[in-house]
Amino acid sequence: MLIYYGLPFVGITFSGFWAAVVAIALNNTGYFGEIFRAGLLSVPVGQYEAAAAIGLGRWQTMLLIILPQAVRKVIAPLSGNALELVKATPIAALVALPELLRSAQVAQEQTYNPTPLLAAAAIYFLVLWPLSRWVSVLEFRAVTRQ
């Protein structure tokens, strides 16, 4: 709401779509950054020391030693956060951007029929359930590999 309704006061305007994209991107970038930071910090210091002992430079150490270990640890949290990102899209209705749930509510209000809401729920379920199962598998693999 701040981006769509507040920024025009300082001369910056976005369409409803771009305001929603910018707001959701700004919000989730912090989460993704913290997940990556935690993944990098989870690699033991001994890995850095071992890479230096065999003569690897800073970039070689990061690309060949640290990142493969960190990525393995952050795949599950990243995919879970991506799932939350999909669930957060109905917030876009706050800036007058038509999205699935709001469109279903409008249709239900006009027809007094719950079918549009049930259809929207079914669509969300069909999209999110397989993704949530995939995230569960990734989390299980991450736990069993450690």
Residues 65, 80: Cα–Cα separation, whole Å: 25
Average pLDDT for 79-87: 81
Helix residue spans in the chain (DSSP H): 16-41, 45-53, 58-61, 67-87, 100-111, 115-145
**What CATH superfamily classification does 2-145 receive?**
MetI-like (1.10.3720.10)
Nearest of 84, 77, 2, 90 to residue 33 by alpha carbon: 77
Where do the domains of the chain lie? 2-145
Instruction: Confirm if 99 and 105 have CB atoms less than 8 A apart.
Output: no
For residue range 121-136, list pLDDT tens digits in order.
Answer: 888 888 878 888 887 8
Q: Does pLDDT of 97 surpass 60?
A: no
For residue range 20-76, list pLDDT tens digits in order.
Answer: 888 888 888 989 999 999 999 999 999 999 999 999 999 999 999 999 999 888 888
Q: What is this structure's pTM?
A: 0.63
